[in-house]
Amino acid sequence: MEPIALELFERPKLNRPIFVEGLPGVGSVGKIAIEHLIAELKPKKFAEILSKHFPPQVMVDQSGRIKMFTNDLYYLKRAGKSDIIFMSGDTQAITPDGQYELSDFIVNFISDLGAREVYTLGGYNVGKLVEKARVFGAGTSNELIEKAQKLGVVFKTDEPGGGIAGASGLILAFAEKKKIPSLCLLGETSGFFVDPKGAEATLGVLIKLIDVKVNLSELEERAKQVEKITQRIHEFEESLAKPGAPSKKENLGYFG
């Protein structure tokens, strides 16, 4: 078995394609975002990537059929505009060297397909509840960074602290080696749950950068539900802070 195997259903001829990646990660922001794009734009699936760097298990779908973990590639043809390649997936590589190998493999593949721009999507964990999700950015091209700044993306020294982990970071790095301009968009998230707010904010920027029309109302709806839950948690926390209220410590005393 090859460490990484590509199953190619079709080798598309693409016009100066833009590549957009969203894999599972912090708050599932990247995965929610890419799956919403795929559901809305209905690109055509043309390849699957398998790897022994993925978790050693299979998934089971609703009809009882098993499915290997894959990263999946789709293309969207656009008249008069750059085509788009989307990559979603069930997982990222679970070992450090697997992360490097897969990101390198993917960038080589999309480079062969002629990719001219790379966008990676992820979450930025702020570790606390977020009222309005900001979008943080990092990139390899001043031009893309400036474009994104004008759309409100935050590029600042101390954010994102600790860099960008996993595929969203390494794909950028390997794209830079191939001189493909690339940008990572990270939707702010508490990291506490699967977070459509960060995904919605990220897509709000991305759709302008890659010039697609996508209905975000479903994500907005899901984001509002998360906001309601956020609100309730805030109220609960405030009630704990009032005099006479049980202290947080007491409240957790049954763990003691």
Residues within the interface to a second copy (CB under 8 A):
1, 3, 51-60, 62-68, 93-101, 104-105, 137-140, 142, 145, 155-157, 160, 162-166, 169-170, 172-173, 176, 184, 249, 254, 256
- C-beta separation of 191 from 90 below 8 A: no
Q: How far is the CB of 99 from a second copy (least distance, A)?
A: 3
User: Is the CB of 3 or the CB of 114 nearer to a second copy?
Assistant: 3
Q: How far is the CB of 93 from a second copy (least distance, A)?
A: 8
User: Is the CB of 10 or the CB of 61 nearer to a second copy?
Assistant: 61
The dihedral formed by the CA atoms of 105, 107, 112 and 115, expressed in degrees to the nearest 10: 160
Q: How far is the CB of 76 from a second copy (least distance, A)?
A: 26
User: Is the CB of 94 or the CB of 245 nearer to a second copy?
Assistant: 94
The span from the CA of 82 to the CA of 231, in Å, is: 41
Q: How far is the CB of 150 from a second copy (least distance, A)?
A: 13
Q: How far is the CB of 129 from a second copy (least distance, A)?
A: 23
Q: How far is the CB of 211 from a second copy (least distance, A)?
A: 22
The span from the CA of 18 to the CA of 84, in Å, is: 5
Residues 6+ apart with CB under 8 A from 136: 124, 153, 154, 155, 159, 160, 185, 186, 188
Query: Which H or E run includes 99?
Result: helix 96-112
User: Is the CB of 166 or the CB of 198 nearer to a second copy?
Assistant: 166
- Report residue 212: phi and psi, to 5°: -125, 155
Instruction: Provide the CA 23 distance to its chain's centre, in angstroms.
Output: 5
User: Is the CB of 55 or the CB of 152 nearer to a second copy?
Assistant: 55
The span from the CA of 26 to the CA of 187, in Å, is: 9
User: Is the CB of 59 or the CB of 233 nearer to a second copy?
Assistant: 59
User: Is the CB of 140 or the CB of 212 nearer to a second copy?
Assistant: 140
Closest to 104 (Cα-Cα) out of 52, 50, 53, 171 = 171
Q: How far is the CB of 73 from a second copy (least distance, A)?
A: 18
Residues in the chain: 256
- For 178, the 3-state DSSP assignment is coil
Query: What is the residue type of 91?
Result: T
